[in-house]
Amino acid sequence: MKKKIFLAITALTLFVVQACKMDGLDKDPNRATVVTPDLVLNGICNSIFVGPWGNSARFSQYNCCNYNYYGNQEYNWGGASLQYTLLKNVVKMEEEAKRVGYKAVNPYSAMAKYLKASMYYEMTMLVGDLPLTEALSPDVTYTPKYNTQKEVFVQVLKWLDEANADMATLIAAGESTVSGDIYFGGNLLAWQKVNNAFTLRVLVALSAKESDADLNVKGKFANIISNPTKYPLPTSNADGLQYVYNSTFNKYPTNPDNFGFDATRYNMSATTLNTLASLKDPRAMLFGEPAGNKMKAGIQPTDFAAFVGAESSMDLADMSTKAGIDNGAAYLPGEFSFYNRKRYYSTYTAENTVMVGYAEMCFNIAEAANRGWVSLNAKDWYEKGITASHSFYGIGNGPLDVYFFKAGGKVTDGGSYNKFTVNFNQTAYLAQPLVSYAGNNAQGLQQIVVQKYLGFFQNSGWEGYYNYRRTGFPTFSKGGPGTGNSGLIPRRFQYPSSEVTNNKANWQSALNNQFGGKDDINADMWILK
């Protein structure tokens, strides 16, 4: 008996010793447990942009998928993708900056405020109320309560104002750079300008709440405009926040590699292309190609009548049949315009993706002037926005070369494109009846929002949809069999399924407070009421 007890104790002792010896072996010696803040910021920078030609572009009705394998235009939306994992990295960046000895106010803490604000803006615009206060608390909780959408926007504006002030303080103290920045090479003043332009975006998004004293939308907007030294803003396209592509590890989504797979599986949307054609806007010729049937009918490829987009609401099978197939000789039947394959498929770096741009800022200022928030000339800023958007695409006074793909050609072969030259006059364009600013009235507002929508083409994520949802401009195609969702354009996304699984009580409470208990994609969130 004693021998058995001894053996048992010995075995237990050996287990404890072995456990002690194994302590730490579960840690990977090749994986860092701490990291410098610049490396964290670098990873965040690569994750914050929404790429072109994805769901945001299709559901904002910039383009259409005509082949079911690649997608459709049905607005049967489910759960949104929220950015809480990325937000944890932002918090980690702040912690690491303190760990390596930065002061309380430092370039990374200032960047963190902008990043938190931009991420929460994006998330709340998708779904409504959100966990915020408890979600970012150092006291870890897996069931954070929801803040109202109004509380989220109050915090977003607070972060943005603090970010501007902190950046100004750092720049004045000679700390004008931040390492790990892939956009501006660490230039903190450039980020300060983006921060303030983004603030104008947020305030315009709150236009339905302009009388809310807690938000003070009009006052905040006017304060930024009237204090350019305190709130520097972009002055050209070069000041915009833009994601730049290269031919190796971050290729433009449409490129020679996938030309053979999907170049004819997508076509332009009527909402975008037909609007551009009606305005005689040369961006139509850069975004799309002439429809095959129009050319077969003898219409010249540089005639705006040759550019035809498909209604996003049409039956997908019907769209597929009519879209046109490149059979090596002609488009059959070719009723709609494909993407401009020279611009979007012949290289790996078609164009930068703008996230917060100068043209948008001009239109936001024009809208504020139209609404009477600021004493500025709305017409001037409206025209500046159009000119800036044209300039981004290389359009200016004088000749403009446009290229259209030859049927049966090779995408990377320069000889596979027909070249045409059109002459463009900016003054004449702006003087057209449909373009000339109608004044500080409902028609003028519509013109501003429509031109801003066109300027968002393949840029700025969901902003084209957000502006349509807020104003009703431009008129979206809906109601047909291709729309889904009983013919309606949704007003929001549902919450992700993880909230139902992990935070059900607070999720249900948020639904009760907002949408009568249902996670309804057709219900208006607070910002729209």
Give me Rg for the CA atoms of the chain.
26
d(CA 133, CA 401): 53
Mean pLDDT by 10 residues, the chain (529 residues): 36 38 53 83 94 96 94 97 95 96 97 98 98 86 93 98 98 97 97 98 98 97 98 98 95 94 92 98 97 91 96 96 66 82 95 98 98 98 98 97 85 85 97 98 98 98 98 98 97 96 96 98 98
Interval 351-370: pLDDT, tens: 999 999 999 999 999 999 99
Interval 449-502: pLDDT, tens: 999 999 999 999 999 999 999 999 999 999 999 999 999 999 999 999 999 999
Contact 105, 127 (CB under 8 A): no
pTM to 2 decimals? 0.93
Contact 465, 59 (CB under 8 A): yes
Look up residue 237 and give its two tokens. Answer: 């396209």
pLDDT given at position 84: 94
d(CA 1, CA 8): 11
pLDDT given at position 429: 98
Assign 3-class secondary structure to 371-414: HCCCCCCHHHHHHHHHHHHHHHCCCCCEEEEEEEECCCCCCCCH
pLDDT given at position 393: 97
pLDDT given at position 28: 62
Q: Which amino acid is at 460?
A: S
Contact 460, 357 (CB under 8 A): yes
Q: H/E element holding 191?
A: helix 188-205
d(CA 364, CA 251): 31
Which of 443, 461, 477 is closest to 274 using CA atoms?
Answer: 477
Tell me the torsion sign for CA atoms 201, 204, 205, 211: positive
Which of 215, 108, 209 is closest to 158 using CA atoms?
Answer: 215
DSSP track, 414-460: GGGEEEEEEEE-HHHHHHSTTTS---SSHHHHHHHHHHHHHHTTT-S
Look up residue 191 and give its two tokens. Answer: 């980020």
d(CA 255, CA 64): 18
d(CA 500, CA 502): 6
Strand, coil or helix: 326: strand
pLDDT given at position 296: 86
d(CA 429, CA 424): 8
Tell me the torsion sign for CA atoms 119, 121, 126, 132: positive
Look up residue 285 and give its two tokens. Answer: 């010729």
